[in-house]
Copies of this chain bind each other. A is one copy, B any other.
Amino acid sequence: MLPGPTNVPNRVMNALLSPVINHRSTDFRELYKTITEKTKRVFQTESEIVLLTTSGTGAVEASVVNLIKKNDKVIIPVNGEFSTRLADLIDSWGGNSIRINAPFGQNPSFDQLEEAFEKNKDTKAVYAVYNETSTGTTIRYMDKIGELCGRYGSFFIADSVSILGGDDLPVDKWNIDICVTASQKALAAPPGVSPISINARTKKYMQNNPPPIMYLNLSRYFKYFDEHYETPFTPALPLFYAFNEALDIILEEGMEKRIKRHKICSDAFYSSLNTMGLTPFAAEDARSDVVIAVNYLKGMDDKQFRDLLANEFKVLVAGGFGNLKGKVFRIGNMGEVNRYHVMRTISSIASAINMCGLTVNPEAMSVALEKLKPL
């Protein structure tokens, strides 16, 4: 139940054993082409798809180094570890980040963003971390950022590493120029490959302004794909096979049903944890449905609690990041997550709290069961 890497279905694991073929062969071209076509459907986009052999960070970085030039103004909401890191990267690469800060666990208001835009009409791009894994918050006005960028002609980049496949994200409808995710979160594939969507105008800009680097240079990926349906550098073939299988599972379920399943499980988690007396770290309007960050009760020790969960119940949850270390635990509600995972996690949490010497309201189980009924 980690917020990534998440559980990988056996079908996907078994795909890892497909033969290691030549990446300059017809077989590979067909595989890569089908992956990009399926990924488009999952991203709800007509944009081009590039699949990088990197972690999500590598793909997020590709979205920066291919787009941002010296002194480019970039507006970015900052409210957690990953948005801070992204803003730092933009600055170290030579960009000029305009940070719209909010306390961890909250989002800046859309009005604050709009105001920053009014003051900086030459803003080149808005970067938004759609889901802040470190705090369990999701930005709920991505569509409005898209509109705003459209109005000013700025680029809109969505870091969707920990959310795509687990919550709504219609890339084209929301006017997202670049959308970045990774295999090992809500898409439930093994870690190591990261898909990015890039629309036509952004592709053109990148091709006309290539950065002085090689491995993350997206223009090279465009060229090899356009000419041969290949990657410019040797791809992590076993992970491509696995990702392809994970996409099949997603499309068989259907995106709408999949997102609804995540919401039902998230609702069950929040309601049941609330019944136990546990409060979410995130403000209500910013609460994530894929990463559930929970404040520890007084008397709960992070190490003791998570060790109990891991050793006695074989349930893994994550601790807090940075300043939140020891103050919260985080549940990944992603990918395969279903009735079984929610009930087992909830009951294990209740028992572990009891073992820590605190009591919880036993109705927490039936609250969860009730919420899970639609599944």
Which A residues contact B (CB, under 8 angstroms)? 2, 4-5, 7-8, 13-14, 16-17, 20-24, 53-58, 61, 65, 85, 89, 92-94, 182, 184, 190-193, 212-216, 232-239, 242, 316, 318
CB-CB under 8 A from A214, the residues of chain B are: 57, 61, 85, 89, 92
State A65–B191 Cα separation when bound (angstroms). 25
Contacts of A21 on B, CB cut-off 8 Å?
Answer: 5
List 27 contacting pairs A-B, 8 Å CB cutoff, sorted by A: A7-B20, A14-B17, A16-B16, A16-B17, A16-B238, A22-B316, A22-B318, A23-B191, A24-B318, A53-B53, A53-B58, A55-B233, A57-B215, A57-B234, A58-B215, A58-B233, A61-B213, A85-B214, A93-B212, A182-B234, A184-B234, A190-B238, A191-B237, A192-B235, A192-B238, A193-B236, A238-B239
Q: How far is the CB of A236 from chain B (nearest CB, A)?
A: 3
Q: Is the CB of B20 within 8 A of A17?
A: no
Known A-B contacts A55-B53, A58-B215; A191 and B8 likewise in contact (beta carbons under 8 Å): no
Contact partners of A318 in chain B: CB under 8 A: 22, 24
CA distance A7 to B20 in the complex (A): 7
**A308: min CB distance to chain B, Å:** 16
A156 to B147, CA, bound (A): 52
Q: Which residue of B lies closest to A235 (CB)?
A: B191
**Contact of A55 with B235 in the complex, beta carbons under 8 Å:** yes
Whether B20 and A191, one on each chain, are in contact in the complex, defined by CB atoms closer than 8 angstroms, is yes
Given contacts A61-B215, A94-B212, 9 further A-B contacts (CB under 8 A): A5-B22, A8-B20, A13-B20, A14-B17, A20-B184, A53-B53, A53-B54, A53-B236, A182-B234
Q: Measured between alpha carbons, how far is A22 from B89 in the docked complex, in Å? A: 25
Q: Kindly provide the distance from the CB of A128 to the nearest chain B CB, expressed in whole angstroms.
A: 18
CA distance A232 to B81 in the complex (A): 13
Instruction: Name the distance in Å between A127's Cβ and chain B's nearest Cβ.
Output: 14
* CB nearest neighbor in B for A236: B192
A215 with B55: CB separation less than 8 A: yes
Assess A57 versus B22: contact at CB under 8 Å? Given A17-B16, A89-B214.
Answer: no
- Across the interface, A53 reaches (CB within 8 A) one of B17, B192, B233, namely B192
Nearest Cβ on chain B to A15's Cβ, whole angstroms: 10
Contact at A237–B53, with CB atoms within 8 Å?
Answer: no
List, in ascending order, chain B residues with CB within 8 A of A16's CB.
13, 16-17, 238
Complex-state Cα separation, A94 to B16, whole angstroms: 40
